[in-house]
Amino acid sequence: MPIRQISAFADVEHPHRGEHGGGSGRKGADGDHGCPTRVLEDAVPYRFDSERAALIEITPHPLLDGISAHRARATELILAATREIDLTGVNITDTTVPGPPDAPDVAVRIYTPLIGSRPTPAILHLRGGGFVAGALGTDHRANIELGRALGATVISVDYRLAPENPYPAAIEDCYAALLWTVDRADRLGVDPTRLAVHGVNTGAGLAAALALLARDRGGPALCCQCLLRPELDDRRARVGPRPDAAARWDAYLGAGVAGTDEVPVYAAPARATDLRGLPPAYVSVQEGDRLLDEGVAYAARLRAAGVPVDLRHQPASPVAVAPAPTASGAVRCTGGPGSRRRHRSPAAVHGTAGVSREAAGVSRERDDRISYLRAALKIRF
């Protein structure tokens, strides 16, 4: 299995892994670890928080006007979120792991802390992207910060994308990465008894599904499942003002399958009727988010099944989104069909106080989650 170390530049050259189904196909990185930051000159002119980028599920537009466009916008957000990254205290390595039977290998990115004692806890991270977009660089900054804050090894999984690889490709890739992490625990320097799964949006739905799958297959035990604004229920896809959600579920499950009795619980964990014996859960939801109700409902059902749950409500806040390029190279916000509103920075739109409140909310959620994971993974440093 080829292993390579990478630099601060998050890998964004390959946003279309699902189109080919096979290996990563990524370009070689410069491997320069001497400089802790690297600036991407062509990125948008203000910084993004990668978890806020995940909050809008990789796309800044209200309509999913095609998978290719969706992936192109995902690449824009990855570029914006990976500016000026501090690599202090973390070693980063790309490799591939054996995939599911009769499937290609799965690319993973390993963030190994240079602080703390060995073996470290391990966190399997599953990115968002609406099942159809994203790459290893999607949560690059957040994964660095997570590993550094906890002294834990973070393993990010580049699962296959729909519609080229529909269900169950993504969840089976995640399960293969979970098995590999435990099998290679000694070589990775991780403690297989202190293992968590962590995801954002559709990645959180995959994390919940992975907890179910590991339980039902008698797979590795998880200390906890960390679900950030989880998307869990295909039956809600056509509820509300987001037709792109229905399009993504159609891509993942097949056209017309969402909302029918044909959907398995490992595709939509909210359909599971037996939640007993699952690992403790941290569930973060945000006021005003379309996923609020299903996150709250899943947390309540977990608690009713005897699963310890820490449910955190985050206040609603403005989210900066990537501007859409015009033919002339200028940028504008696309608020809907025919919209021509010029893009403005978050401060210009919401005022400095609004941006400060948003930053405080992001920081509070992150602190809460770090505290939870530190306790769940028995981290002492």
Report helix angle 140-150 to 346-376, nearest 10: 40
Instruction: Tell me how far apart the alpha carbons of residues 59 and 102 are, in angstroms, rounded to a whole number.
Output: 32
Instruction: Tell me how far apart the alpha carbons of residues 92 and 154 are, in angstroms, rounded to a whole number.
Output: 10
Q: For residue 156, what is the enclosing H or E element?
A: strand 153-158
pLDDT at 55: 42
Residue that is written with structure tokens 């044909």 in the block: 262
57 pLDDT exceeds 70? no
Residue pair 148/90 in contact (Cβ under 8 Å)? The answer is: yes
Q: Which two tokens stand for residue 72?
A: 């192109």
Q: Look at residues 261, 270, 267 and name the one whose alpha carbon lies nearest to residue 291.
A: 270
Mean pLDDT of 256-263: 95
Confidence of residue 116 (pLDDT cuts 50, 70, 90): confident
Instruction: Tell me how far apart the alpha carbons of residues 201 and 54 are, in angstroms, rounded to a whole number.
Output: 7
5 pLDDT exceeds 60? no
- Look up the CATH number of domain 3-314: 3.40.50.1820
156-208 pLDDT, tens digit per residue, is 999 999 999 999 999 999 999 999 999 999 999 999 999 999 999 999 999 99
Mean pLDDT of 128-136: 92
User: What share of the chain in percent tops pLDDT 90?
Assistant: 57
370 pLDDT exceeds 90? yes
Pseudo-torsion of CA 4, 6, 52, 158, nearest 10°?
A: -20
| Amino acid sitting at position 275 | L
| Amino acid sitting at position 28 | G
Instruction: Tell me how far apart the alpha carbons of residues 254 and 334 are, in angstroms, rounded to a whole number.
Output: 28
339 pLDDT exceeds 90? no
Higher-scoring residue by pLDDT: 74, 302:
302
pLDDT at 51: 52
pLDDT at 372: 98
Q: Look at residues 93, 121, 70 and name the one whose alpha carbon lies nearest to residue 377.
A: 121
Residue pair 120/196 in contact (Cβ under 8 Å)? The answer is: no
Mean pLDDT of 219-243: 89
Instruction: Tell me how far apart the alpha carbons of residues 241 and 74 are, in angstroms, rounded to a whole number.
Output: 21
What is the pTM (predicted TM-score) of this model? 0.75
278-334 pLDDT, tens digit per residue, is 999 999 999 999 999 999 999 999 999 999 999 999 998 655 443 433 333 333 333
**Can you state the percent helix, strand and coil of the chain, rounding each to 5?**
35, 15, 50
Residue pair 12/78 in contact (Cβ under 8 Å)? The answer is: yes
262 pLDDT exceeds 50? yes
376 pLDDT exceeds 60? yes
Q: Which two tokens stand for residue 288?
A: 């005003």
Instruction: Give the start-to-end residue ranges of the domains of the chain.
Output: 3-314
Q: For residue 124, what is the enclosing H or E element?
A: strand 120-126
Q: For residue 198, what is the enclosing H or E element?
A: strand 190-200
Cα–Cα distances in Å, from 328 out to 76, 90, 275?
A: 17, 40, 53
Instruction: Tell me how far apart the alpha carbons of residues 74 and 72 are, in angstroms, rounded to a whole number.
Output: 5
Confidence of residue 143 (pLDDT cuts 50, 70, 90): very high
